[in-house]
Amino acid sequence: MTASTTANPLRIALVTGGSRGLGRSAALALAADGVDVILTYVSNDASAQAVVAQIEAKGRRAVALRLDVGDSTTFAAFADSVKAALAATWQRERFDFLVNNAGVGLHANFEDTTEAQFDMLFNVHLKGPYFLTQKLLPLINDGGRIVNVSSGLTRFSIAGASAYAAMKGGVETLTRYLAKELGARGIAANTIAPGAIETDFSGGMVRDNPQVNAMVAGFTALGRAGQPDDIGGVIALLLGEGSRWVNAQRIEASGGMLV
């Protein structure tokens, strides 16, 4: 092993939902930090391949794989696809970082939320990360790290988010248990909790509705709604060498929303 290889070891991150929004920002921020990326997408192959091209333009390698995090019956086959991609692209058997980011939004008051909506959120936001992480665990290097994406809505309450926030509360509890149980392998697990971000999430409500955007800005100490890169940079920071001793923590990145 050369001195340069020792100083800059190859690191690979798997980012779910990496073709758009916060996942795309995280994938690009990680690439800028010298990390190669496996990103997942549900259906838009063109968007996923565009992110792959952007990562490659930064001098890193990337692969896009299809995954529906709401369908746990596909996780074993997905793990096989990850194993094959690692062997073909990197000649490796394991990766280093897992970012459980993929998700969907729902804005519905408690009394109007249906069981079908609740089950959908449960499958995507809680059951999905739980069993996907379980299936991928044999492929994560000892000393690796996991970042689970939660929400500022687990700290403050805004009408219409009860089911979504309940799932994210479960994610935060799961993260602490991952940190506890995987510590023997040197794997750290943390939660990042974004505030309101200008993406296409929930139909682009924060990005495209001026009234909602202004309301969010008024709630936020830094005076604006968040941008995807505000979050991608924090995820990259949590996976950087300087954060190796951060474990079992909830890191809110909301610009000081409702403080």
Reduced to 3 states (helix: H, G, I; strand: E, B; else coil), residue 188 is strand
Angle between helices 128-136 and 162-182 (to 10 degrees): 20
Q: Which residues contact 172 (CB under 8 A, 6 or more apart)?
A: 148, 150, 154, 191, 193, 250
Spatial contact of 13 and 19, defined as CB atoms under 8 Å apart? no
Among 41, 130, 164, 177, the active-site one is 164
Continuous segment of H or E residues that includes residue 256: none
Distances (CA, A) of 104 to 49, 116, 187, 249: 21, 14, 27, 23
Region for residue 186 given its phi and psi (left: phi exceeds 0; alpha: psi -120 to 50; beta: otherwise): left
Dihedral of the alpha carbons of 243, 247, 248, 254, in degrees to the nearest 10? -10
Q: Which residues contact 11 (CB under 8 A, 6 or more apart)?
A: 34, 35, 36, 96, 97
177 is catalytic: no
Continuous segment of H or E residues that includes residue 184: none
Looking at the annotation, which residues are catalytic?
164
